[in-house]
Amino acid sequence: MAALLERFGTDVYHIEYRGIYSNHLMHGVVALVGLGAAEARVESFVHSYIKHLDPVPKISENVQVTAENLMTFAGKRSNFLELVKFFTNELESLRMRKSNASQNPLSLLLQRHVPSLADGGIGAAAFHPLIHIGYGLMQNTSGDFIASPRDVIDGLSYMVFSYRRAIGGKSSAAIAESIIIELDISSDSGHWQSEFGISDLSDALLAVVSDFRSGQRVQKVFKQLADLAASPEYDSMEPASSFERGTAAMGDNMQDCLDSCTEAAMKRLHSQFEAKYGIMKETCPSFITYTMKAIVDGAIALYAQSSNGDDFFLLHGVTSVWALRRMLQYFDSNIEKIQILVAYVKALLATYVTQGMPTLMGASKWTESLPSWTDIIKKTVDSSVDEHEYKVVYTCHEAERVYGSPPSQLYRLTAAQKMRFIPWPCV
């Protein structure tokens, strides 16, 4: 797989094509391999997919990206290979300077740059830079921390390339710091890999989404969103999709609501966590682990329960949330972990608004037998030509492998809906 991706990687094909579309080649390969696809099937996908891609622009020897001028390239959607060169040099420098064998240079690179890029980069380009980083870290099936440095570097470069920070509002770091102080979770010492039984933790995030949807301020801005996105300020964002223009307009004009609802989500999760694990400090999972699982469940349920049906951009909440989980395992600082989770929730809420704030249909009442994972995966690998289907099924299958199967059957239901075994949305 590594040789295949190197042969058709971003030294050959650009990270975007046709102006506004993200290159999903690596994501599709990782998901297919993770689902057990044969080598010939993976190669077939690659050779079919590259027909859509654009060649990478030539690197400019006259442009030098440095630590001092990095953010001057943020959001310019140019000089991608120059950004790659900068992060490649950064990683090599960290390799040379690491003080002990336990330090992972790739972890250090992510820790150095992702927090400063979180507010304008986590949700940038419909979550694709985050997906690229996370899938670069998932290029194996054993669960070990084996990664593709080049693909992670591509993801970081793409985060700078497509970066857009909303106007106003609190920074995710400030929200994280206030949450840590108020909830007294600075010493979050539980275990990252602790099991959660078979709980479905989606209700906390969905409740906040529901409250967010009904807010008067949100409703007021939402009614104006189409006109705002069409105004010269956002219409001049080029190249940019209508979704990106809508998210930018929404973020700039509703940042106070995003901040307060994200804080409410974290506090609701902490209250649930304390009620369940507060007296089991030594054996319980950490609050951050619990929150990560709740955000995984919430992002999947938001997509599965949307009255829009198979909403294309809420789908990216599903595929990006597992990438987020993978990336977060490379961080040590609790405040940085919470900061990144806060930035993600804000971006997910912004996506929900931009997609029309669809009604949540409630948990599925499906009573018939679900198809087996074997049948779902077989249909995905054998007959699908859509890499988004590979990624949704892969995410849901991995979530069940790690977390177990909740009574709601959230993960398998969502995969079965995506692959059209059962109606959408299933209520």
Residues 213 and 68 in one domain: no
Question: For residue 166, is it within any domain?
Answer: no
Query: Which amino acid type is present at position 54?
Result: D
Please count the residues of the chain. 427
Mean pLDDT for the stretch of residues 331-352:
93
Residue environment code for 384-409, b if the CB has 16+ CB neighbours within 10 A, otherwise e:
beebbbbbbbbbbbbbbebbeebebb
- Nearest partner of 208 among 263, 247, 256, 166, judged by Cα: 263
Do residues 110 and 257 both lie within one domain?
no
Q: Determine which of 40-44, 245-249, 307-311, 354-358 has the lowest per-residue pLDDT on average.
A: 245-249
Q: DSSP for 79-114, please give it.
A: -HHHHHHHHHHHHHHHHHH-SSTT--HHHHHHHHHH
The whole-angstrom distance between residue 8's C-alpha and the CA centroid of its chain comes to: 24
Mark whether 185 and 330 lie in a shared domain.
yes
CA torsion, ordered 302, 305, 311, 313, to nearest 10 deg: 0
Q: According to the model, what pLDDT value does residue 78 have? A: 93
Do 280 and 409 share a domain, yes or no? yes
Domain end marker among 108, 126, 161: 161
Q: What is the pLDDT of residues 137-164, one digit of tens each?
A: 987 544 444 568 999 999 999 999 999 9
Do 280 and 408 lie in one domain? The reply is: yes
| Nearest CA-CA partner of 209 in 139, 294, 286 | 294
DSSP state of 141: S
Q: Which CB contacts under 8 angstroms, 24+ apart, belong to 178-186? A: 178/263, 179/263, 179/266, 179/267, 179/270, 179/338, 179/342, 180/334, 180/335, 180/338, 182/267, 183/266, 183/267, 183/270, 183/287, 185/270, 185/287, 185/334, 185/338, 186/334, 186/335
Taking the C-alpha atoms of residue 292 and residue 405, their distance in angstroms, rounded to an integer, is 17
- For residue 3, name the pLDDT band (cuts at 50, 70, 90): confident
202 in a domain, yes or no?
A: yes
Name which residue leads in pLDDT, 233 or 85: 85
pLDDT at 218 over 80: yes
pLDDT value of residue 283: 52
Q: Does residue 427 form part of some domain?
A: no
215 with 77, same domain: the answer is no
Q: Which one-letter amino acid corresponds to residue 292? A: M
pLDDT at 194 over 50: no
Whether residue 387 is contained in a domain is answered as yes
Classify residue 134: in a domain, yes or no: yes
What is the count of structural domains for the chain?
2
Q: Is residue 359 part of a domain?
A: yes
- Domain membership of residue 378 (yes or no) is yes
CB 135 within 8 A of CB 152: no
With contact defined as beta carbons under 8 Å apart, do 179 and 133 qualify? no
* Chain centroid to CA 83: 21
| Chain segment 304-336, per-residue pLDDT in tens | 999 999 999 999 999 999 999 999 999 988 889
Task: State whether 194 and 305 are in the same domain.
Answer: yes
Mapped onto helix, strand or coil, the DSSP state of residue 176 is: helix
Range of the domain at 32: 2-161
426 located within any domain: no
Of the candidates 161, 184, 210, which is a domain's last residue?
A: 161
The 3-class secondary structure across 198-209, one letter per residue, is: ECCCCHHHHHHH
Considering 161, 185, 211, which residue would you say is the last residue of a domain?
161
Residue 364 has pLDDT above 90, yes or no: no
- Helix or strand run (H / E) with residue 189: none
**Which one has a higher pLDDT value, 322 or 208?**
322
Q: How is 315-383 classified by DSSP, letter by letter?
A: HHHHHHHHHHHHHHTT---HHHHHHHHHHHHHHHHHHHHHTT-PPB--S----SPPPPHHHHHHHHHHH
Instruction: Identify whether residues 152 and 195 lie together within a single domain.
Output: no
For residues 149 and 115, membership in a common domain is answered with: yes
Report the b/e string of 361-378 with b at 16+ CB within 10 A.
bebbebeeebbebeebbe
| Residues 177 and 152 reside in one and the same domain | no
The answer on 204 and 109 residing in a single domain is no
Q: For residues 234 and 242, give the distance between their C-alpha atoms in angstroms, rounded to a whole number.
A: 9
For residues 167 and 83, is the Cβ–Cβ distance under 8 A?
no
The residue-averaged pLDDT of 195-207 equals: 80
pTM of the model as a whole: 0.93
Q: Label residue 18 left, alpha or beta by phi (over 0 means left) and psi (-120 to 50 means alpha).
A: left
Residues 257 and 356 in one domain: yes
- Residue 194 CB burial class (10 angstroms; 0-12, 13-18, ≥19): middle
